[in-house]
Structures are given as C-alpha cells and as structure tokens.
Amino acid sequence: ISMSTNKRLLMDKIIDILDSIAYEKGLKIDDVENALKEALIKTAQKMVDETLTFDANIDRANKKLELFQKIEVVSEDDERLNANAVNKYGEAINYENFITLEEAKEIDPDLEIGDFMNYDLEFENMGRNAATILHSNFEYRLQRFIEENLVSKYKDKVGKTIAGTVTRIDRQENTFIEIGEVKGILQRKSRIKGETFKVGDVVKAIVKGVNIDKINGLLIDISRTSPKFLENLLALEVPELKDKKVIIEASARIPGSRSKIALSTIEPQIDPIGSVVGVKGVRIGSVSKQLNGENIDCVEFSTIPEMFISRALSPALVNSVKIEKHPSYGETIVTIPSDQKSKAIGKAGLNIRLASMLTKYDIELIEVASATSASNNEKAVVNEEKTTDTASLEALFK
C-alpha cells in the first residue's frame, strides 16, 4: 500500500473518530474539529517554535488534515523584519513569520502585501512526544468546549426552577446537588432557615448563576430563598398563573417565615387572589409546605401607589396614605388607628418590612386614636355630665 493510501485511510479513521466524539459528548462537529486544530497548533508551537505562527485545516472533501506555518507578506521596510523587533507589549517578534513582497513574488507573482504563504508541516516528523502532547491538548480543548456548552445551556436556565438529588453536605453546610450532568451548590445562606437535607433527598431550587470552580469544575449556584422561587412554585400549582390569566406583579419574602405577593388580572371574571389561594387554601398550602411552612399573603395589585401600599399593609386597616417625594427612594407616611398598629407592624416587624419590600416604599406609621376609643371617650364625657350636673333635677323636687 502506498504512503498516500495510508494517509487517506488514516484520515478516514480520524474523521470517524471526530464524528464519534461529537456524538458521545453532545458537541457540534465544528467544535470538535476546532479542538483538534487548536491542539495541532499548540503541539507545533511546543515541538517546533512557539514564536512561529501556525494554522491547521481539516479538509473533509479531500480527506486531508493540514498543518502549516503561516508567513505574512510585508513591505521591504516593515519593522517586523528586524531581528530585534518587539510588539506593543515588549515581547520579541520572530522575523521568520514574515517575508518581503519581492521574495514572495518570486514564489507566487499574484501575492500582495497582507497575504499569507503557507508552508506544509509533517506531523510525523515532530518527534515521538508529539502524539502525547497532541492527545493532552486535544483532551483539554474538548473539555473546554464541553464546559462552554454547559455554561451556555444552564445560563438559559437562570431564573428557572430545577430539581436534583443531594450527593454531599460539607462542613460549611453547603449542599451539593446532582443536576443532570453538572453539580449544583445550595449555599447555607441560600437555604430556608430551619430546613435540613440529607444525602439522597430530592431538592427543588431556582438557578441563580453558573460558575466554574477550580476544584469542583462547573457549578450551578442555586437558591431556595429567592422571591422568584416562590413565584415559580406558585406557577406550577396555579394554572391561571401559567396561562398568564393572573399575573404576579411583585413579591417579597422573609424565607421560612412569611411572604407577600401582589396579584393582578385583566380577566374580569377571574378572582386573582381566589385563584392562587385555591379551594380551602389547597393551592397556596401546597406551596407553603414546600417552603418549610412559610406563610404566604396575597394582595391585589393597584397601579395607584397609595392604594397598593394600603393593601400591602393588610390585615391592618389604614386611614390615609401620603407619598413623600424623595430623589433616591420612595417614602410614604401612613396614618393608622392605634388599634391597627400591631397588625400593621406584625410579629417581629414582619408585616411592615414585607409591605415595604413589596411596594418599594419606605413606610412611616403615624398613629391616631381609633374610632372606637374616641367614641368611648365621648360616652364617658356625656355620662359624666349626666351624673355631676344635678342642679336642675333637684329643683323639681323642692
């Protein structure tokens, strides 16, 4: 068998291997070919001269694998032809990467300044270590393409809910979760207060971001404390949310304790709060159970800020809401009866904090006497007048 036939058979085998790798790794064939070309270039730099410029090409049509040195055609006075030339970073430039126009035209009269001449290199002549270096470089670049594909894939999932199985919990109480072909990390700060997991548990969480860790490789940063996670869980339970008949306009959470969501709808026949709560609270109760018993309050959204703030403070009833203009943040003064103050503030201040988070306004409460106490005071005054002013009555009995 001739040498050319051997090379053709070898190239057929290489193409089959590249196609197989692309299929097994879930990569595009172009990515696999680029990985091989980059590996060839890196190997040539290692085995020949790292200051020279190389390129590679895979010609499927003619079944050829080409590795060559690139030489740029320049003018006779080009500074890069000098032996002591340096680039803008102060690094030495190898003048062997360039050829004068006059010399180039002796080889090919059609060449012009800026064109490149290619000198073929035989990979087989690079030494016995070349194959090992090529394999190492190829594996490294394949892994890089795999990671880039996974990063791209999971970046599209940011803000979406995923489920995975707990595989490990470290000393810092970070929970590692297997999510398909990658690992997710649920940090302690992103876990609902009071909940614990063990290896084998299936955990739902929302994707916050995608990171590449030096030790663990590609890691998906996930969270169970994000308000968006609450919204996603509700959408899974409430068909009206999934169908966009009911809209979550805003949400606020103090994870594991309490949350508030503002709901709206353009469908007059739909009750947004009733739809989300469900019959006997079944729908919202199911979501609360998944959030370690977190209480979820539903309020109806309004485009009128004063009305929205008033509703956000429910179950408290307010007298008035006055919005103060501020250059950097919203501020509002809420006048409230004294007997509603504890409801407005809530246990440990949860209600007013959530209302502020939900509406994006700083809320200041001003307490006034309640209607009930005022009425009782008036009655007391009347009774006092009736029992102390008896002079007119005494005259009747004289």
pLDDT in tens, 238-295: 999 999 999 999 999 999 999 999 999 989 899 999 999 999 999 999 999 999 999 9
Cβ pair 117, 35 in contact under 8 A: no
Residue for token pair 């740029």: 72
* Per-residue pLDDT, 356: 94
Residue for token pair 């172009």: 30
Share of the chain above pLDDT 70, in %: 87
Residue for token pair 């009833």: 317
Question: Coil, strand, or helix at residue 273?
Answer: helix
Which residues on neighbouring strands pair with residue 71, listed in sequence order? 117
185 DSSP 8-state letter: E
Closest CA to 203 of 177, 229, 235: 177
**148, containing H or E segment:** helix 130-155
pLDDT in tens, 351-387: 999 999 999 999 999 999 865 555 555 554 444 444 3
* Per-residue pLDDT, 2: 35
pLDDT in tens, 65-109: 888 899 999 999 888 888 888 877 778 888 889 999 999 999 999
* Per-residue pLDDT, 385: 40
Dihedral angle computed from the Cα positions of residues 216, 219, 222 and 228, in that order, rounded to the nearest 10 degrees = 170
Report the alpha-carbon distance of residue 215 to residue 277 in Å, rounded. Answer: 45
* Per-residue pLDDT, 27: 86
Report the alpha-carbon distance of residue 81 to residue 340 in Å, rounded. Answer: 86
The more confident residue out of 231 and 328 is 231
Please compute the mean of the pLDDT values over residues 307-328 and round it to a whole number: 88
Report the alpha-carbon distance of residue 179 to residue 82 in Å, rounded. Answer: 56
Helix 227-237, helix 282-290: angle, nearest 10: 140
Q: Is the pLDDT of residue 398 over 50?
A: no
Report the alpha-carbon distance of residue 54 to residue 70 in Å, rounded. Answer: 6
Phi, psi at 193, each rounded to 5°: -60, 130
Please compute the mean of the pLDDT values over residues 323-337 and round it to a whole number: 81
Token pair belonging to 95:
């003048």
Q: Is the pLDDT of residue 138 over 80?
A: yes
* Per-residue pLDDT, 307: 95
* Per-residue pLDDT, 396: 41
Please compute the mean of the pLDDT values over residues 108-125 and round it to a whole number: 87
Share of the chain above pLDDT 90, in %: 51
Largest pairwise CA distance in the chain: 149
The more confident residue out of 22 and 216 is 22
Closest CA to 291 of 204, 189, 222: 204
Q: Is the pLDDT of residue 51 over 60?
A: yes
Q: Is the pLDDT of residue 168 over 80?
A: yes
Phi, psi at 6, each rounded to 5°: -60, -45
Q: Is the pLDDT of residue 153 over 70?
A: yes
Using alpha carbons, list the distances in angstroms from residue 162 to 123, 203, 221, 357. Answer: 47, 8, 11, 26
* Per-residue pLDDT, 371: 57
* Per-residue pLDDT, 10: 58
